[in-house]
Amino acid sequence: MNKLLLRSLSIFAVLALFLFANTGFAQENPKVKKLQDKVDAAKLKVEKLEAKIFSADSLIQAGQEMVKDAEGELKSLESESKALDKEYYSNIKPLEKQLRSDDKETVTQAKTELKTLDTKYKVDVKELNTKIKEATKKYETGKKLIIKGKDNLKKSKDSKKEADKMLKEAEKAFAKA
């Protein structure tokens, strides 16, 4: 009988303790849930800011690649321009000598060849200038991307510092509860 009474009493004590603990925990549950929500929101904000940082890094890299490509294109176009000028002036020299000739047929022929050469040169220069404009535009776009990426990176890093701080505070408050 003592054993039965002792068992009943211990079961009753465990149940009472369990009910009392659940009742006390149930009252704190909204508080804990609110703190947990705060922690989750802070983690989400940190993740979003990390994604923005990654995006800004990608912008910077894309801009640097564009600038590098454009610089290479501009150098090649510059050498192409020099070669075109050199070719034009070397082709003009003999024609200018022919223009000073006493023979009218030679002078007339030299004038028509010079006009043809000038027309071809102008077309080639115009085409080259178009390519240079495109490469310059690509270069400028790359520079703009780099600037935009750096601005976004700075803003995102500053915001991430604040978000990390808030996350630590929320985790501390949650750990205390």
- Domain containing 117: what range? 2-176
- Tell me how far apart the alpha carbons of residues 5 and 60 are, in angstroms, rounded to a whole number: 77
Overall domain count for the chain: 1
Residue 21 predicted with pLDDT over 70:
no
pLDDT value, residue 11? 61
Which range is least confidently modeled, 18-27, 73-82, 147-156?
A: 18-27
User: How would residue 7 be classed by pLDDT, with cut points 50, 70 and 90?
Assistant: low
Residue 175 predicted with pLDDT over 90:
no
Chain mean pLDDT for the chain? 86
pLDDT, one tens digit per residue, over 22-73 is 544 444 578 888 888 888 888 899 999 999 999 999 999 999 999 999 999 9
pLDDT, one tens digit per residue, over 76-94 is 999 999 999 999 999 999 9
DSSP 103: -
Query: What is the reported pTM?
Result: 0.68
The domain that contains 127 carries what CATH number? 1.10.287.620
**30's tokens:** 């909204």
Strands (E), 21-173: none
pLDDT value, residue 115? 95
Q: Which residues of 100-125 are buried (b: 16+ CB within 10 A; e: fewer)?
A: eeeeeeeeeebeeebeeeeeebeebe
